Amino acid sequence: MPQFMDGNRAIALGAIDAGCDFYAGYPITPATGILLHLAGHLPKTGGLVLQGEDEIASMGFCIGAAMSGRRVMTATSGPGISLYSENIGLAIMGEVPLVIVDVQRMGPATGAATTGAQGDIQFLRWGTSGGYPVIVLAPTTVEECYTLTIKAFDLAERFRVPVFLATDKETALTKTTTHIEREHTPRVRDRKTAETESEFVPLGIEELDEVPAMTPFGGPHKLRFTTSSHDEHGYLTKDPQALDRLNRHLAAKIEAHTDEIAMLDVDADQGSETAVLSYGISARSAKAAVGKARRSGKKATLITVYSLWPVPEDAIREALKGVKRIIVPELNLGQYTREIQRLATNDQEVIGIYRVDGKLITPEEIIEQGGVL
């Protein structure tokens, strides 16, 4: 049945249908709607919602809840991600499954709270010390806010890592008629936990890209949870071999499974030499631009990337085969364009189309500046 809603409500519904039973956050435009909606509905399903005294405390609450067996989400905007940073690092080090929604607004600093942007794309990937990978998904529509929230929870359980949902003010706060089929919601996998009868090794893995099981909360196992580098038993160490194994594992469990995580849609014209590649709210203008080009008799390929990090390099390279011109529209100064430039061949021209004035990129700008027509 069609419903009239914005992206924030769709994210909240997705969290509930994914089995989220704990949310902590601090009000911040334009993400506050997620907190308000969950505060009104999550307790009805047995969940718990906390408004922390600030973003730092909220992320701490989420980490503690996740490690005690809860399925956890929080939401904020760019300034909040800045405050989340240290605890995001703790979640990476402690291999904590949780979902973090970033409803992007214009920065830097507090910027323009009611103005849309896509300026946090590199920040989400590189915003913690050490440079270890995370997973970032980007919806383009209200419906995708719902489905990708559920996917984010599933990936968090699969890889024991913070998973970001990078949306934006326009998608989050603009209401539209949607067709969300909640009864056909894909099931989020169960958390992988160690057998209570077995000896528990917190980071007991054979291969670096494996994801260790978690201990059932309240079970017989002893768990040492620390921000510091540690061995497979959780003891702090400076042993080079143990440190190398830990740090390579934190990277490999994501990077070795990039193809499994990869999510993109390719709508290609046979023989097309022009591709428009985008994500998030800008992908909607890209779709309209390609549609207009085709109606005028031109060939163009449309590539929409949903899994921004880790960059789905193999899938993007495959989609760009035979293309001579790659147009990348985004609401920043070229943050994802640089990733595409890195993947492009010497005979491929990459054209970035950027806006940082608070206005959306129009299909006409893509057509005129990118030379689609």
276 and 171 share one domain: no
pLDDT digits over 125-142, tens only? 999 999 999 999 999 999
What's the CA gap between 153 and 101, in Å, rounded? 11
155 and 276 share one domain: no
For the beta carbon of residue 344, count every other beta carbon within 10 angstroms: 16
pLDDT of 86 over the 70 cut: yes
Q: Residue 220 domain-assigned? A: no
Mean pLDDT, residues 58-63? 98
152 and 15 share one domain: yes
Contact yes or no for 56/87 (Cβ under 8 A): yes
For the beta carbon of residue 275, count every other beta carbon within 10 angstroms: 30
SS3 286: helix
Q: Residue 232 domain-assigned? A: no
Contact yes or no for 170/116 (Cβ under 8 A): yes
pLDDT digits over 304-321, tens only? 999 999 999 999 999 999
What's the CA gap between 225 and 229, in Å, rounded? 10
> Dihedral sign, CA of 254, 164, 104, 83?
negative
Q: Residue 248 domain-assigned? A: no
Give residue 226's pLDDT band: very low, low, confident or very high (50, 70, 90).
confident
Contact yes or no for 274/327 (Cβ under 8 A): yes
Give residue 373's pLDDT band: very low, low, confident or very high (50, 70, 90).
low
pLDDT digits over 321-350, tens only? 999 999 999 999 999 999 999 999 999 999
34 and 124 share one domain: yes
Give residue 222's pLDDT band: very low, low, confident or very high (50, 70, 90).
confident
180 and 279 share one domain: no
SS3 69: coil
Give residue 185's pLDDT band: very low, low, confident or very high (50, 70, 90).
confident
174 and 31 share one domain: yes
Proportion of the chain above pLDDT 90, given as a percent: 87
Contact yes or no for 343/313 (Cβ under 8 A): yes
Q: What is the CATH number of the domain that holds 110?
A: 3.40.50.970
pLDDT of 28? 97
269 and 172 share one domain: no
Domain boundary among 165, 184, 203: 184
In this structure, of 1-5, 22-26, 330-334, the range with the lowest mean pLDDT score is: 1-5
Q: Given phi > 0 = left and psi -120 to 50 = alpha, else beta, which region is 307?
A: beta
Mean pLDDT, residues 280-290? 97
Mean pLDDT, residues 199-216? 89
177 and 31 share one domain: yes
- Total domains in the fold of the chain: 2
Domain membership of residue 169 as a residue range: 3-184
Mean pLDDT, residues 249-260? 98
Domain boundary among 147, 166, 184: 184
Task: List, in order, residues 6 or more apart from 56 with CB less than 8 Å away.
Answer: 83, 84, 86, 87
pLDDT of 201? 87
In this structure, of 77-86, 101-110, 181-190, the range with the lowest mean pLDDT score is: 181-190
What is the helix (H) or strand (E) element at residue 266, kind and residue range?
strand 264-267
Domain boundary among 135, 159, 184: 184
Q: What is the CATH number of the domain that holds 308?
A: 3.40.50.920
pLDDT of 265? 98
256: tokens are 């070795």
pLDDT of 197? 66
